[in-house]
Amino acid sequence: MARTDALAVEGIEAAIDRAGSYIEAGADALFPEAIRDLNTYKKFTDAFKVPVLANITEFGLTPLFTVAELATVGVGIVLYPLSAFRAMNKAAELVYETVRKEGSQKSVIDSMQTRDELYQRINYYEYETALDKFLQDGDKK
């Protein structure tokens, strides 16, 4: 995958030319950065027969297009690089602000992931079962 930031500085023609050079050099996907409208994505997807990535980050130059909107112009990969991180940071701020003000996290417990929810998410019990089996099989040798 090759990224180009040329659009913001040099314009669409230069960005398309640069992307073409990347593909000639072996890139199998494109990451054009700072795209401000769907028509510009369409120019990339029309010009090249490789997947095009949309970088949908909050507070950036690219509007918060939906996956469906991007699909209509041929974008096949959508990246949300900081969305969860920003949400987690905001949640952490809430927890520690609550601890600072109230002396405890009790009033925000209902907004937290439980231990069981975490274990389900990471398939902990399956891992634990597999590890137990592995260790039992190792004892037989």
Same domain for 7 and 58? Answer: yes
Same domain for 74 and 11? Answer: yes
Q: What's residue 138's pLDDT? A: 73
For residue 52, how many other CB atoms are within 10 A of its CB? 25
Query: Are 111 and 89 contacting, i.e. CB atoms less than 8 angstroms apart?
Result: no
Q: Which residues form the domain of 22?
A: 2-79
User: For residue 102, which phi and psi values (nearest 5 degrees)?
Assistant: -105, -15
In the chain, % helix, strand, coil (3-state, to 5) comes to 60, 10, 30
Distances (CA, A) of 77 to 6, 23, 32, 50: 20, 17, 12, 11
% of the chain beyond a pLDDT of 90 = 96
Amino acid at 111: S
- Give the Cα separation of 78 and 64 in Å (integer): 11
Distances (CA, A) of 97 to 86, 103, 140: 16, 9, 53
| CATH number of the domain enclosing 42 | 3.40.50.12600
Q: What's residue 139's pLDDT? A: 67
- Give the Cα separation of 92 and 30 in Å (integer): 35
**Residues 6 or more apart in contact with residue 5 via CB below 8 angstroms:** 33, 34
Same domain for 65 and 95? Answer: no
Same domain for 32 and 44? Answer: yes
Tell which phi-psi region holds residue 94, choosing left (phi > 0), alpha (psi between -120 and 50) or beta.
alpha
Same domain for 10 and 68? Answer: yes
Mark the ranges of the chain whose per-residue pLDDT is less than 70: 139, 141
Q: Which of 37, 55, 79 is the last residue of a domain?
A: 79
